[in-house]
């Protein structure tokens, strides 16, 4: 798999578009500039890779819109060597962005096919992350606590198990709402049992579902 001069040029334009849309975190923009998004999609869709839109993957799932990836990554306030847990690996693009920002990434996917493919993609690009096949509702307590947890699927409510896996000062970034629209929510763990919520606009994700799909 290779990056191309043309794709690099398209990424620079995408970064400028994201700046105009209000993304100001330079570390996030740098990661979007260097991670070749087209290699996370079917090669037939190269022309779609650097348009600011979500795009279908296999198994009825989607690779998030670059703007959405940028917003969630900014809200996480990632610092180098932060431990970040992602629920909903999908293509692995968001995981690669976090890895490119220097985070230690743990990511869970409930579709076996996507889990296998994403792992292959990141490895071939030289990004490291720990991949898990399973239901992300329970998180991964054995590797926590985390500086940040990011959910890239629509949740109806905050999974309590995930809050318990945040460090004090850690941030959970989660789209909460119905299947048609969700509010991007940040929950900061301010103490052992105290949490602060803030809201950051409306988004649309595929649903966060229980159980696994072995295919
Ligand atoms: N972050 C992805 C976008 C993923 S779309 C990317 O960068 O491409 C949402 C993903 O969440 C889908 O792949 C879906 O299968 C997965 N998902 C939904 N509910 C889940 C759960 N309970 N545990 C783990 N993954 C889940």
Q: Which of 47, 59, 64, 180 is catalytic?
A: 64
pLDDT score of 182: 98
Q: Residue 1 above 70 pLDDT?
A: no
Question: Do residues 187 and 195 touch, judged by C-beta distance below 8 A?
Answer: yes
Give the pair of three-digit tokens for residue 110: 């409930």
Q: How far is the CA of 92 from the centre of ligand 1 (A)?
A: 9
**Percent of the chain predicted with pLDDT > 70:** 100
Is position 179 annotated as part of the catalytic site? no
User: Of all atoms in ligand 1, which is nearest to the CA of residue 153?
Assistant: 9
**Helix axes 93-100 and 112-125, enclosed angle (nearest 10):** 40
All structural domains of the chain, each given as residue ranges with its CATH number in brackets, are 54-203 (3.40.50.150)
Tell me how far CA of residue 23 lies from CA of 116, 186, 195, 202, in angstroms.
31, 17, 26, 16
Quote the radius of gyration of the chain (alpha carbons, Å): 16
What pTM value is reported for the model? 0.98
Q: What is the pLDDT of residues 91-118, one digit of tens each?
A: 999 999 999 999 999 999 999 999 999 9
State how far the Cα of 211 lies from the Cα of 65, in Å rounded to an integer.
25
How many angstroms is it from 102 CA to the middle of ligand 1? 22
């Amino acid at each position: 798999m290779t990056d191309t001069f043309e794709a690099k040029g398209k990424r620079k334009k995408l970064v400028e578009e994201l700046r105009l849309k209000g993304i100001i975190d330079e570390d996030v923009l740098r990661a979007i500039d260097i991670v070749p998004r087209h290699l996370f999609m079917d090669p037939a869709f190269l022309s779609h890779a650097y348009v600011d839109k979500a795009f279908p993957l296999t198994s009825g799932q989607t690779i998030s819109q670059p703007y959405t990836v940028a917003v969630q990554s900014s809200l996480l306030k990632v610092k180098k060597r932060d431990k970040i847990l992602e629920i909903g690996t999908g293509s692995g693009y968001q995981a690669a962005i976090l890895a490119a920002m220097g985070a230690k990434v743990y990511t869970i996917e409930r579709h076996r096919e996507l889990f296998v493919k994403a792992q292959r993609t990141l490895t071939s690009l030289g990004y490291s992350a720990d991949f898990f096949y399973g239901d992300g509702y329970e998180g991964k307590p054995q590797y926590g606590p985390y500086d940040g947890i990011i959910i890239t699927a629509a949740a109806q409510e905050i999974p309590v198990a995930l809050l318990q896996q945040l460090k004090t000062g850690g941030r959970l970034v989660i789209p909460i709402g119905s299947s048609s629209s969700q509010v991007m929510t940040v929950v900061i763990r301010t103490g052992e049992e105290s949490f602060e919520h803030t809201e950051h606009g409306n988004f649309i994700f595929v649903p966060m579902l229980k159980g696994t799909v072995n295919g």
